[in-house]
Amino acid sequence: ETGVTQTPRHLVMGMTNKKSLKCEQHLGHNAMYWYKQSAKKPLELMFVYNFKEQTENNSVPSRFSPECPNSSHLFLHLHTLQPEDSALYLCASSQRQGVRQSYNEQFFGPGTRLTVL
Amino acid sequence: AQSVAQPEDQVNVAEGNPLTVKCTYSVSGNPYLFWYVQYPNRGLQFLLKYITGDNLVKGSYGFEAEFNKSQTSFHLKKPSALVSDSALYFCAVRDMRLSFGAGTTVTVRA
């Protein structure tokens, strides 16, 4: 495996539920990412954290709330989701050289398959 | 602005034949280009990248890619495909952020 783990692997929730996705990286990286992968669409970058600080939020609805307590852990808190939020949510990590663009590849977890009923 | 295009949704080849997955890009500065592969029920795995230097980049599992600046392309190639290469392939370009193509499904038949 890639050194990035995600739990749970599958999640079914109602629109009124509150749940959280967890990601942990064991690679010593300093940047972590949340992506949304929907069928037939490019990967959508949702959030970026560098050194535990959120540096990007790509117009993600507030029903998605990220949390990065340290450089190894990343959470995505979910509440009052919509059926169109059903997708595969991927976490990734990389080693960045400061705030400028990094040449380093990202390492991905296996994803959480989310179904919103 | 930056973007990446994978013009083929699907590529089908017979085992042992050459495999090519196409990618074109558009960036304002120097392109940093990546290929990833995704097997069923798995996350994306890094295959190779072009940052600078030789236009032909070699990566994992026998894959290589050729950077062509004049054609703004970064096609992924494998001389002899295996059934186990069947997967979803993503091209990505990085300028200020990493942008992915929509993906190409590769099916290698025995």
Lowest mean pLDDT among A6-10, A56-60, B90-94: A56-60
φ, ψ of residue A51 in degrees (nearest 5): 50, 45
Contact with chain A for residue B88, Cβ under 8 A: no
Contact with chain A for residue B102, Cβ under 8 A: yes
Mean pLDDT of A29-55: 89
Kindly report the average pLDDT of chain A as a whole number: 90
Q: Which residues of chain B have pLDDT under 70?
A: 1-2
Band of residue A101 on the pLDDT scale cut at 50, 70, 90 = low
Task: Using alpha carbons, list the distances in angstroms from residue B25 to A20, A44, B10, B33, B60.
Answer: 35, 17, 19, 9, 22
pLDDT of B100 reads: 92
pLDDT of A40 reads: 75
Tell if the CB–CB gap between A110 and B95 is shorter than 8 Å.
no
To the nearest whole Å, the CA of B37 is away from the closest chain A CA by 11
Q: Which two tokens stand for residue A105?
A: 């590849």
Lowest mean pLDDT among A49-53, A74-78, A94-98, B22-26: A94-98
pLDDT of A83 reads: 93
Are the CB atoms for A23 and A107 separated by under 8 Å? no
Band of residue A50 on the pLDDT scale cut at 50, 70, 90 = confident
